[in-house]
Amino acid sequence: MMRIAQIAPLAEAVPPKLYGGTERVVSWLTEELVRLGHEVALFASGDSKTSARLEACWPHALRLDPGHPDPMLAYAATLERLAGMVDRFDVVHSHIDWIHIPLLRRLGVPFVTTLHGRLDLPNIDSCFGQCFAETPFVSISDAQRTPLPDAHWVGTVYHGLPEDLLVPNFAPKGYLAFLGRIAPEKGPETAIRLARAAGLPLKIAAKVDKVDRAYFESKVEPLIDGHQIELIGEIDEQQKSTFLGNALALLFPISWPEPFGLVMIEAMACGTPVIAFPSGSVPEVIDDGMTGFVVEPEQALSAIDAISKLDRRQVRGRFEQRFMARRMAQDYVRIYETLLRSSPMTNSQ
Q: Residue 64: what pLDDT?
A: 76
Phi, psi of 51 (to 5 degrees): -90, -5
Q: Residue 127: what pLDDT?
A: 77
**How far apart, in whole angstroms, are the C-alpha atoms of residue 162 and residue 169?**
17
**How far apart, in whole angstroms, are the C-alpha atoms of residue 90 and residue 61?**
27
Q: How many CB atoms lie within 10 A of CB 333?
A: 17
Q: Residue 344: what pLDDT?
A: 67
Most distant CA pair in the chain, distance:
67
**How far apart, in whole angstroms, are the C-alpha atoms of residue 6 and residue 83?**
13
Percent of the chain whose predicted confidence (pLDDT) is above 70: 98
Q: Residue 125: what pLDDT?
A: 81
Question: Looking at the predicted structure, is the pLDDT value of residue 348 above 70?
Answer: no
Lowest mean pLDDT across 53-57, 99-103, 128-132: 128-132
Residue among 152, 211, 143, 221 at smallest CA distance from 183 = 211
Q: Which fold has domain 3-160+324-348?
A: Rossmann fold (3.40.50)
- Residue 212 makes CB contacts below 8 A (sequence gap 6+) with 181, 182, 183, 184
Q: Let me know: does 135 contact 105? Beta carbons within 8 Å.
A: yes
pLDDT confidence bin for 236, thresholds 50/70/90? confident
Per-domain residue ranges for the chain? 3-160+324-348, 175-322
For 258-293, what is each residue's pLDDT tens digit?
Answer: 999 999 999 999 999 999 999 999 999 999 999 999
CA dihedral 291, 294, 295, 299 (to 10 degrees): -10
Q: Residue 342: what pLDDT?
A: 87
Question: Looking at the predicted structure, is the pLDDT value of residue 37 above 50?
Answer: yes
> Which residues on adjacent β-strands are paired with residue 207?
181
Phi, psi of 84 (to 5 degrees): -75, -10
- pLDDT mean over 4-10: 98
Q: Residue 203: what pLDDT?
A: 98
Q: How many CA atoms lie within 13 A of 301 on its CB side?
A: 9
Lowest mean pLDDT across 128-137, 166-175, 201-210, 255-264: 128-137
**How far apart, in whole angstroms, are the C-alpha atoms of residue 282 and residue 256?**
11
Lowest mean pLDDT across 84-88, 130-134, 147-151, 215-219: 130-134
Q: Residue 67: what pLDDT?
A: 78
Calculate the average pLDDT of the chain: 94
Question: Looking at the predicted structure, is the pLDDT value of residue 124 above 90?
Answer: no
Percent of the chain whose predicted confidence (pLDDT) is above 90: 85
**How far apart, in whole angstroms, are the C-alpha atoms of residue 230 and residue 223?**
9
**How far apart, in whole angstroms, are the C-alpha atoms of residue 84 and residue 55?**
12
Q: Let me know: does 173 contact 246? Beta carbons within 8 Å.
A: yes
For 303-325, what is each residue's pLDDT tens digit?
Answer: 999 999 999 999 999 999 999 99
Q: Residue 66: what pLDDT?
A: 76
- Residue 180 makes CB contacts below 8 A (sequence gap 6+) with 186, 206, 263
pTM: 0.94
For 193-227, what is each residue's pLDDT tens digit?
Answer: 999 999 999 999 998 988 999 999 999 999 999 99
**Peptide linkage before 71 cis (omega within 30 of 0):** no
- pLDDT mean over 116-141: 88
The answer to whether the 3-160+324-348 and 175-322 domains have the same CATH topology is: yes
User: Is the domain covering 175-322 a CATH 3.40.50.2000 domain?
Assistant: yes
Q: Residue 349: what pLDDT?
A: 43
Question: Looking at the predicted structure, is the pLDDT value of residue 50 above 90?
Answer: yes
- Residue 322 makes CB contacts below 8 A (sequence gap 6+) with 158
